[in-house]
């Protein structure tokens, strides 16, 4: 038996690199790009925005029985509300304070969502599972058939979410592109470069930063909604702090401050992770790596080493990422 079935590994890698997860991460990272790449906001709570979108939409269907479009609106509203709550106290503060508060706020969202106190609304640690029905009615694809190109195939229901995901990602890239080229975008970038100078020119830095936080946050919310539609479930522990770090790696891998780079970063990230994981698993299953050294569970942990290592090394040696531009990264607080 061959030690690694490369055909299978390649197939899995491509399926993941172009699949639901990659689309969700790309959308969230486009939002993060708006925050960090253009407005210079150190948002380490993007997972909280994603959770807000997913829960807002899920609860609207589950709890209040709203139609799909209203539910999506609720998801957006939840994200906006979270952005305002988060921005009001912190946007006047130094950048690293924002980092600490956003990471704490995202944890608050997760802890509250999984608490038994809100069990009637959020279904506690079990998460929301019954909201998917109305969304499936819009699915033009046959759930029992598979769709795709070549051997990259997805089941109908997943393919529906994959299509929505990549469409939204493209739309958000376009929106970001137009916004950044607009006068609004130039002010936001000016604030990132030198907030004092921008304020001296009479720009209300606080308001522009808040707007950027809301726009990027709503994009994050859409990432959560796409994820919920694709997986037909909303699990509170999915939105842990680690998720935010993955979005950051996707952003930095692609290149901060390049509108389309998060998409490239997400495809690369999921390709890399899946490749490492599947190759490792096969090496263990086929006895090339003995289980006394590591088992398949431990292979899964290696991906975090890859993520952490890549994040640190990129930040030091190529902070602009693969496709980023150096001048957009002329950012450092203080």
Partner 1 sequence: MEMPGRPRTAMLFVAAILFFLLPTVAAFAQDSENVATRITVEDETGERVPVEGVAITVTDDQGNEVGAGATDAEGVFMLEVPEAGTYQLLLDDTTLPEGVSLTNSDRNPATVILREGQTGATIFALTSGDAVAAGGGVTLRQIAQLTVEGIKFGLFIAMAAIGLSLIFGTTGLVNFAHGELIGWGMLMAYFFNFYGLAGVFGWMASWPPPFGGGVNVIFAAVIAMVLGGALGWLLDAVIFSKLRARGVGLISQMVVTIGLSLILRYFFLFGFGGSPRFYQDYTAQSAIHIGIIDITPKDLVISGLSVLILIGVGLFLIMTRWGKAMRAVSDNRDLAESSGIDVQKVIRYVWVMGAGLAALGGVFDSLAETVRWDLGFRILLLVFAGVVLGGLGTAFGALVGSVIVGIGIQLSTVWLPTELKNVGALALLALVLIVRPQGLLGRRERVG
- Position among 90, 211, 266, 279 found at the interface with partner 1 (CB under 8 A): 90
The interface with partner 1 within residues 10-69 (CB under 8 A) comprises: 42
Cβ proximity to partner 1, 130 vs 295, nearer residue: 295
Pairing type for strands 146-149 and 152-155 reads antiparallel
Any contact of residue 193 with partner 1 (CB under 8 A)? no
Residue span 245-284 as binding mask against partner 1, x where in contact by CB under 8 A, dash where not: x--x---x--------------------------------
Q: Which is nearer to partner 1, 60 or 328 (CB)?
A: 328
Nearest distance in Å: CB 163, partner 1? 32
Contacts of 62 (CB under 8 A, 6+ apart): 123, 128, 130, 131
Distance CA 282, CA 5 (A): 8
> Could you say which of 65, 67, 89, 133 contacts partner 1 (CB under 8 A)?
89
Quick one: 167 or 298, whose CB is closer to partner 1?
Answer: 298
Q: How far is the CB of 84 from partner 1 (least distance, A)?
A: 13
Total residues binding partner 1 (CB under 8 A): 55
Confirm if 36 and 249 have CB atoms less than 8 A apart.
no
Q: Are 71 and 240 in contact (CB under 8 A)?
A: no
Residue of 68, 70, 73, 104 interacting with partner 1 (CB under 8 A): 104
* Residue 307 contacts partner 1 per CB under 8 A: yes
Give the residue, chosen from 2, 120, 137, 332, that forms a contact with partner 1 under the rule CB under 8 A.
332
Contact window for partner 1 (CB under 8 A) among 53-61, 131-139, 178-186, 304-312? 304-312
By CB under 8 A, which span of 8-16, 52-60, 84-92, 172-180 interacts with partner 1? 84-92
C-alpha 255/C-alpha 325 separation (Å) is 7
Which residues have C-beta within 8 Å of that of residue 137, sequence separation ≥ 6? none
Residue 10, CA distances (Å) to 214, 275, 279 in order: 38, 7, 10
Region of 40 on the Ramachandran plot (φ > 0 left; ψ -120 to 50 alpha; else beta): left
Question: Distance between CA atoms of 258 and 265, rounded to whole angstroms?
Answer: 11
- How far CA 33 is from CA of 49, 65, 149, 257, 300, in Å, comes to 14, 34, 30, 6, 28
Q: Nearest to residue 234, comparing CAs of 246, 242, 226?
A: 226
Query: Is residue 145 part of the contact set for partner 1 (CB under 8 A)?
Result: no
Residues that bind partner 1 (CB under 8 A): 42, 88-97, 99-101, 103-105, 107-108, 111-112, 114-117, 195, 241-242, 245, 248, 252, 292-295, 297-298, 301-302, 304-305, 307-313, 315-316, 319, 331-334
């Amino acid at each position: 038996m061959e030690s690694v079935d490369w055909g299978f590994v390649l197939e899995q890698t491509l399926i993941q690199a172009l699949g639901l997860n990659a689309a969700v991460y790309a959308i969230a990272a486009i939002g993060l790009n708006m925050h960090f790449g253009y407005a210079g906001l150190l948002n380490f709570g993007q997972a909280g925005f994603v959770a807000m979108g997913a829960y807002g939409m899920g609860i609207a269907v589950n709890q209040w029985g709203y139609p799909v479009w209203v539910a999506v609106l609720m998801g957006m509203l939840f994200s906006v509300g979270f952005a305002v709550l988060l921005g009001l106290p912190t946007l006047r503060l130094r950048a690293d304070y924002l980092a600490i508060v956003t990471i704490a706020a995202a944890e608050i969202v997760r802890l509250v969502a999984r608490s038994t106190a809100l069990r009637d609304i959020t279904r506690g640690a079990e998460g929301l599972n019954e909201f998917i029905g109305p969304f499936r009615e819009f699915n033009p694809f046959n759930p029992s058939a598979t769709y795709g190109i070549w051997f990259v195939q997805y089941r109908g229901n997943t393919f529906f979410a994959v299509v929505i995901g990549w469409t939204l990602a493209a739309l958000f890239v376009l929106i970001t592109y137009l916004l950044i080229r607009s006068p609004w975008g130039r002010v936001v970038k000016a604030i990132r470069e030198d907030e004092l100078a921008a304020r001296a020119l009479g720009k209300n830095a606080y308001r522009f930063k808040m707007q950027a936080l809301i726009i990027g946050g709503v994009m994050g919310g859409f990432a959560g909604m796409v994820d919920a539609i694709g997986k037909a479930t909303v699990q509170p522990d999915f939105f842990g702090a680690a998720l935010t770090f993955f979005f950051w790696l996707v952003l930095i891998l692609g290149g901060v401050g390049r509108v389309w780079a998060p998409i490239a970063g997400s495809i690369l990230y999921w390709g890399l992770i899946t490749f490492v994981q599947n190759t490792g698993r096969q090496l263990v299953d086929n006895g090339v790596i003995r289980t006394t050294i590591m088992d398949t569970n431990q292979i899964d942990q290696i991906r975090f080493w890859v993520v952490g290592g890549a994040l640190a090394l990129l930040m030091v040696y190529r902070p602009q990422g693969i496709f980023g531009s150096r001048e957009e990264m002329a950012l450092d607080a203080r």
